[in-house]
Chain A
Amino acid sequence: MGDAAAAQAPALLSARGVHKTYSFGAIPVEVLRGADLEVVQGEWVAVLGSSGSGKSTLLHVMGGLDKPDRGRGEICFQGAPIATTHGARLDAYRNRDIGFVFQFYHLLPELDVLENAMLPAMVGNWFPWLGTRADEARDSARALLESFGLGHRLTHRPAQLSGGERQRVAIARALANTPKVLLADEPTGNLDVKTGEGILDLLSERHARGLTVVMVTHDPAVAARADRVVKLTDGRVEVAFEIER
């Protein structure tokens, strides 16, 4: 997908002029200073940047886990701004429209692998007596985990897994409700190169099947797996280069 195509197709997810300021007591630190990013359907975008440049912050804001400074920037999904206040619509956005993968996995220690992977499905399905949907969720989570090579670890607790395995469970969880966009924050940041490759293969396979991916990394070699790489410097997004295939 070229620049021209990206410019023409309507953006699936976009950040427009996002400002984000953290204040340490009296001293405000402006991490994002008008960041713009457009992601079109089916694209894999890598956000490259040095540590502390605000990559995670941008991804959190795009995923509705954090909000821009009041009145300074907005996030649009499928053309409509996402709710920036708390509420059922924002919950539904987090639950169904996007999937989030964290650098540190963030699995629930008290749940086993299968339960962790079906958590978003359970969250979205508030009433247990709608039994068929629960069974469906269980089956699809199991199938996903099996395709990730975790079929034999379904009843294990996260603490019993390696880092790579945990990240695969986290990706399975992010995909549980078949979201439109996967937001991955340094999904390989905590893993060795070979394991990281495995995770990236997994993402790339999903991407090939049409999943839109926004991935944050500080590693150009990892960024190279994406269709398009943008760079975050001084709180703004610079279009860096496009990967030729």
Chain B
Amino acid sequence: MYAALLSNRYLTSRLIPFIAIAAVALCVALVVTVVSVMTGFLNMLKDSGRQIVGDVIVSTGIGGMPYGDEFVADLQGLPSVQGASALIDTIGLLRMPYPRGDQKEITHVQVWAVDPASLATVTEYANDLYWKPPVDSDAAQAMAADDPRRRLDASILHDGKTLTESRTGTPGIALGMHVSVGNARQRDGSYLPRYGWFMPDFDVTLTVVPVSSQGKIAEPREQIFPVVNEVQTGVYEVDKNRVYIPLKEGQRLLRLDEAPLFDLDAEPDAQGRYPLIGMTPARVTKLLVRAKSGTTANALRDQVEVAYQAFAARIAADPLRTATMPEFINVLTWEQQLRDLITPVEKEREMMRVLFSLIYLVCAGLILSIFWAIVIEKTRDIGILRSVGASRAGVLWIFLRYGFIIGVVGSALGVLMAWGVIRNINAIHEAIGSDAPQAIWIGTYVLSGLCALALIRAIWRGKLLAILLWLLGTSVLALIATALALHHGTLIWDPSVYYFTIVPDQVDWTTAWSTALGGVLFSVIGAAIPAAKAADIDPVEALRYG
């Protein structure tokens, strides 16, 4: 009972335990915040990676593979497949409607010629279409007055889902959200067209280069597409580069479409034409497959390989077929496909882990030394307690309890702080990324001025400590105010480096709990070591302190 009484008194009648609590809290908050954000990036990357390409990606060489739609139908028949879609993946140049210098802006893009309906069963394509009318009047009210979504009707979403401009019936193009410079991201994550460049009101010109199956480059071909919608996957790399056109258009532009096949060995007729013996099938270069939940990407990859062999054998055995399936195809899981994206973030997280383990150790050392100072200061008390018959275990218990309470309160505050920061991290990020509001830095200057007045008073009274503290306050506040005034915004998490346009705002609770546990453990150990040392010395020795 005296242990509880004393540890409570030690906790409440001094300043130093609060310093210890603050130290524990800051250390815990630091580690939890950084590891949470890094883990969040990684999870987001992996999540959206799957949402962008599905679970398994089949790719062929540049010549593509025939009978893609039939193979897709085969795959769709597999019990563990949720959806499959064939597409052509190529590069192209896009001439934008807005100028750069005295000509129109031209940007290079990744062109996906897709069948939007089946693509939507594999990826989040349909949900990622950004431009759609507000769901109801409440949602409309929440939007900015000049938000273009307010004037949209359902046709834009339909056009995006079909990649066709329904008004004219022409094939359309959907642009990645960051392909055009027209979309200015707002603080709430919505977009407003910059300088009136609301892309669905404009046409763009796409240029692609067909490559023959022998690898010969043909004449580039271009086509004007009306922009039907824009796509926001959330992965900056994708949204910055990718455009979507209908598969048919892509096949035609790239000469991968169905074509008549003539028998060149036969005698040409009077007009010099060879006899027509059939049609070469249209080709695709990629297949995306999505697993039903419960099937892993790796398992699906194996199934797709088997299915492909069976399909290729079937085609080869069919005498009516004019083309054969390529012998080698590349079947990868989404993780393998996106390795280049995932690896750097993973590496960075590991680096952060190591770095923060070091910081963690420094924190532990800090906590240990604070406790050391606290307990050594109490050595005489320990001598008194021992002289009235307190056991060494009893003395130790006082400080274990003391350390435990500091650890628990500090860790809890730390986790709470981390939670507060992480939940608001996007707002904080925005604030850091923009100029400091004038009121804040002027206010800080005013505070600094007030400190200076107090400093003058302290000098007048000749109080040394007060002079020192107010001097410190004045100069630190002045420094902060100057820094704020000069601050013009730096983006810490540059979206072009971290792939995402928002910072993850979920606490990684495993890290939070383990870090908090570490905080408690280090506090208890930190208090126990000097307390055990003090309890070990003879009471008479202990009484000599102080």
A interface with B by C-beta (< 8 Å): 60, 63, 65-67, 86, 88, 91-96, 100, 102, 106-111, 115, 119-120, 122-128, 134, 173
Contact = CB atoms under 8 A, between A and B. Distances in A.
B5 A91 contact: no
Contacts of A123: 2, 385, 388-390, 394
B13 interface: yes
Contact of A128 (B4, B9, B387, B540): B4
A66 B538 contact: yes
Contacts of A109: 381
Contacts of A66: 538-540
A110 B389 CA distance: 19
Contacts of B391: 88, 91
Contact of B389 (A95, A106, A128): A95
B1 A96 contact: no
Given A86-B392, A102-B543, A110-B6, A126 B1 contact: yes
Interface in B348-404: 380-381, 383-392, 394
B308 interface: no
Contacts of B274: none
B191 interface: no
A222 B4 CA distance: 40
9 contacts: A65-B538, A94-B389, A100-B387, A106-B383, A106-B543, A109-B381, A110-B381, A122-B2, A123-B390
A239 B87 CA distance: 113
Nearest to B381: A108
Given A65-B538, A67-B538, A111-B5, 4 more contacts: A94-B387, A108-B6, A109-B381, A119-B388
Contacts of B394: 123, 126
A110 B390 contact: no
Contacts of A108: 6, 381, 384-385
B535 to A, nearest CB: 9
Nearest to A129: B1
B388 A173 contact: yes
B513 interface: no
Contacts of B392: 86
* Max chain A Cβ within 10 angstroms of own Cβ: one of B381, B383, B388, B392: B388
Contacts of B540: 60, 65-66
A125 B6 contact: no
A115 B4 CA distance: 13
Nearest to A99: B388
Q: Which of A86, A93, A108 has the most CB of B within 10 A?
A: A108
A94 to B, nearest CB: 4
A115 B538 contact: no
User: Looking at B2, B386, B540, which has the most chain A CB atoms within 10 Å of its CB?
Assistant: B2
Interface in B1-45: 1-2, 4-6, 9-10, 13
B389 A120 contact: yes
B387 A119 contact: no
A132 to B, nearest CB: 13
B1 A124 contact: no
Q: Which of B4, B380, B383, B384 has the most CB of A within 10 A?
A: B384
B1 A100 contact: no
B273 to A, nearest CB: 108
Nearest to A119: B388
Contacts of A88: 391
Nearest to A173: B388
Nearest to A134: B1
Given A123-B390, A123-B394, A173-B388, A110 B538 contact: no
A111 B9 contact: yes
Q: Which 9 A-B pairs have the closest CB atoms?
A: A95-B389, A128-B1, A122-B2, A110-B9, A94-B389, A120-B388, A66-B540, A65-B539, A123-B390
Contacts of B383: 106
B379 to A, nearest CB: 12
Nearest to A174: B388
B84 to A, nearest CB: 70
Nearest to A116: B384
Contacts of A173: 388
Contacts of B386: 65, 94
Contacts of A94: 386-389, 539
Interface string B95-139: 000000000000000000000000000000000000000000000
A19 B472 CA distance: 57
A124 B543 contact: no
Q: Which of A67, A92, A95, A107 has the most CB of B within 10 A?
A: A95
A87 to B, nearest CB: 9
Contact of B5 (A63, A92, A107, A115): A115
Contacts of B538: 65-67
Given A60-B540, A106-B543, A122 B5 contact: yes
A110 B388 contact: no
A106 B384 contact: yes
A88 B386 CA distance: 11
B168 to A, nearest CB: 86
Contacts of A110: 6, 9-10, 13, 381
B87 to A, nearest CB: 74
A128 B63 CA distance: 85
A91 B390 contact: yes
A110 B383 CA distance: 15
A159 to B, nearest CB: 11
Nearest to B391: A91
A142 to B, nearest CB: 16
Contacts of A106: 380, 383-384, 387, 543
Contacts of B384: 106-108
Contacts of A111: 5-6, 9
A149 B352 CA distance: 65
Contact of B1 (A86, A91, A102, A127): A127
